[in-house]
Each structure stands twice: as structure tokens, then as C-alpha cells.
Amino acid sequence: MNKRNATSADVAILAGVSQSTVSRSFDSNSRISEATRQRVFAAAEQLGYQINKAAQTMIKQRSDLVGLVTAGLEDPFRSEFLHKLIAEVQNSGLRPMVMDVSNRQTIDEELHGLIQYQLSGVIITSGTPSESIGKAFIKYGIPVVLINRTEHSDEADIVNLDNESAGAMAAEAFMKSGKTNLIVVRAKTPSFSSVMRAKGFLNYLASHVSNDEIQAKEVLCESGNYDGGYQVAKEILASAYKPDGVFFCMDHIACGFLDAAKQLITTKDMEDIGVIGCDDIALARFKAYDLTTVRQPSDEIAKAALQTLLNRLKHPTSVPTKQAISAELVYRSTLAKPITN
């Protein structure tokens, strides 16, 4: 193969210009005569020249690399969301560097590994364990965007789903459908998103509960996934408290519940129980579930996160922002849209 990749110096010689002229030719902001630029491009093309990002990073003090810190990719929402983030990073002309911190043992080591690459920024998504993981980056002057996390950082930008409203939307939908015995299910291990969703759900209902208009209670399942929902179904359906509306803080849990319910009770009985999920993962749209859910607009959130990061790169010293993206109720067959006039 090649002995050595072409450098700007090689291009300069071939084009008959100085090395710095080559460099300028690839910088759209530099004013350079169109003639020489074309000559440089031709030479570059001929040699297969590509800018060496390592050298560029050294001098510019930024790599255009964005760290995407995540965990628990077996969770379909997180996985789907990561893909959206990756796409957005690419669209912004940056490069994604994924770091999965599921393995708590090696977090520190991995973290420093990331810092060494002179990241332009880091996006930390929900599910990532340590609360203070962002601090480490900020300490090294790397901008941080937190997504759906509990921290009240005054140094990092924050993008959240409006989780409380999401929960309230589910509650409102049940009320509109005339449901009276409600349950909200979340995983035993608290996560920021789930806790806030459950809180929003119960808060919305609080006044109706004190009226004795309806009943509402919270149920915790073992794990925040399909199996958790599958297991909790027995508890919910066998108990004396007969729910007619169940809100799951994650779609995935709802799907497990629905599958278990099919075996535990008749289709007829199931029809009377409204089910709402949250997130709107791909699975929720499957015919097997066709789950009514509170959609988390992950495209929007990913876009917002990147826009936030780009703004910060432009204005490094501006005041950190905090935004909440609205959820949206999507009616499917597990809770029919009530007829309105």
C-alpha cells in the first residue's frame, strides 16, 4: 500500500504553492484567489490528500469529537435514542464517540480515556450511573449537555423531557375516558424520568382522589423492562384493587404486562382496562401491542441537545440553559380516544 499518506506539504509542492496556502484553501473563511484554490484542490485530489485531524486538533484545541455517554443499551428507548443522537452529531459535521458506562468497574478509567481525545463536547444521557460524571468533563473545560438527568448543574446545559407533564397527560387521558381505579407502575430502582412521570401522574389526580371521585395508587415492579412488566401483571390483576387504567412509566414494561395479561385474563376483561405507556418505542407500534402511549419526541430532544452544544461552542461563557421538551399523547388501541364534541 501507500508508504505514507499525503500531507499538505506534498500538496503544496505539487500545486506549486506554499504549505500555508494549502491549509488556507481548505478553510472556507480564508480569502484566497479562486485560481490557486482550484489548483490546490486538483493537486489534493490527485494525491488523495485528507486533512490530518490530529494535527488540526493540536493547533485548534478542539477535535470536533463529541462523546456520547450512555448506559443500559439493552433498554430499547435508550438504544433508539442513541441512534438519533449519533445521526444528529453526524449532521452537525461532528463525530460521535460512544462510551457505554454500564460496567461500573471501569468508569473512571474510561472517562479519562475520553478526556484524552480533546472532545469538543459531551452529551450525557439518562441511565448513566454517577451523578457527578459530568463534573469530570467540566473540570477539563469540556462542555457538557445533560439529557433527562436529575442534576441541577449550574455549569452544564440541560435538556429534559417534560416528564411531569407526560405523567399528567396519561392521568388526564384516563379521566377523560371515565376511568376511576388507576395505577401507575414504575421500576423499583428509581430513575429520574420514571419518578417524575409517576409524580406528574399522581399530582394531576390528587384533587380527584381527595374528592373520592377516583382512586389512584403506585405499584413498583422489579425491573424497568419487559420482564418487570410481565411479572408485575400477576400482582396487579390478582389483587382486590381492580384497576381500569394502568400507566406504565416505560413502554417496555407495558408490553410485558400486556403479554402476561393475555394469559391471565380474558380478552373481554382486558378490554375494560385502559393501558398507557410512555416513550413510544418502536415496539409500541407493533400490531401485537398497538400501545397508547405518551410519546417522548426523541428526535426533537436529540436535535435540541446538539443545537445546545453547538451554541455553547460558539458562546462558551454564556449562561447554561435548561429546556423541557413537551410530550404528546398518542392514542392507539390500548386506550381508545374518547369521543369529544
Partner DNA sequence: TTGTAAGCGTTATCAC
Partner DNA sequence: GTGATAACGCTTACAA
Binding site residues, its own copies, CB under 8 A: 1-2, 5, 48, 50-58, 63, 65, 73-74, 79, 83, 86-87, 90, 93, 95-100, 102, 106, 110, 112-118, 138-141, 226, 230, 255-256, 259-260, 262-263, 282-283, 286-288
Which span (20-28, 148-156, 171-179, 226-234) binds DNA, by CB under 7 A? 20-28
Site membership for DNA, residue 21 (CB under 7 A): yes
Which span (30-38, 81-89, 137-145, 283-291) binds DNA, by CB under 7 A? 30-38
List Cβ neighbours of 141 (8 Å cut-off, separation of 6 or more): none
Site membership for DNA, residue 5 (CB under 7 A): yes
Given its own copies, DNA, none, residue 32, with its beta carbon under 5 to 8 Å by kind, binds DNA
Which span (19-27, 157-165, 172-180, 267-275) binds DNA, by CB under 7 A? 19-27
List Cβ neighbours of 29 (8 Å cut-off, separation of 6 or more): none
> Count of H helices and E strands in the chain?
13, 12
- CA 128/CA 47 separation, integer angstroms: 44
The residue length of the chain stands at 341
Site membership for DNA, residue 42 (CB under 7 A): no
- Contact map string, positions 123 to 162, toward DNA, x by CB under 7 A: ----------------------------------------
Comparison of 22 and 168: residue with beta carbon closer to DNA:
22
Instruction: Name the residue among 255, 278, 282, 281 with its Cα closest to residue 327.
Output: 278
Task: Sort strands 215-221 and 245-248 into parallel, antiparallel or unpaired.
Answer: unpaired
Given DNA, its own copies, none, residue 226, with its beta carbon under 5 to 8 Å by kind, binds its own copies
- Contact map string, positions 44 to 73, toward DNA, x by CB under 7 A: -----xxxx--xx-xxxx------------
To DNA, the closest distance from the beta carbon of 139 in angstroms equals: 16
Comparison of 143 and 167: residue with beta carbon closer to its own copies:
143
To DNA, the closest distance from the beta carbon of 116 in angstroms equals: 9
Q: Is residue 201 within a helix (H) or strand (E), and if so which, with residue range?
A: helix 192-210
Given DNA, its own copies, none, residue 73, with its beta carbon under 5 to 8 Å by kind, binds its own copies
To DNA, the closest distance from the beta carbon of 318 in angstroms equals: 21
Given DNA, its own copies, none, residue 282, with its beta carbon under 5 to 8 Å by kind, binds its own copies
208 exposure class (CB count in 10 Å sphere: 0-12, 13-18, 19+) = middle
Beta-strand (E) ranges in the chain?
Answer: 65-70, 95-100, 121-124, 144-147, 157-161, 181-187, 215-221, 245-248, 274-279, 292-295, 322-325, 328-330
Query: Residue 206, Cα to own-chain centre: how many angstroms?
Result: 30
Site membership for DNA, residue 18 (CB under 7 A): yes
Instruction: Name the residue among 230, 150, 221 with its Cα closest to residue 188.
Output: 221
- CA 313/CA 187 separation, integer angstroms: 37
Given its own copies, DNA, none, residue 129, with its beta carbon under 5 to 8 Å by kind, binds none
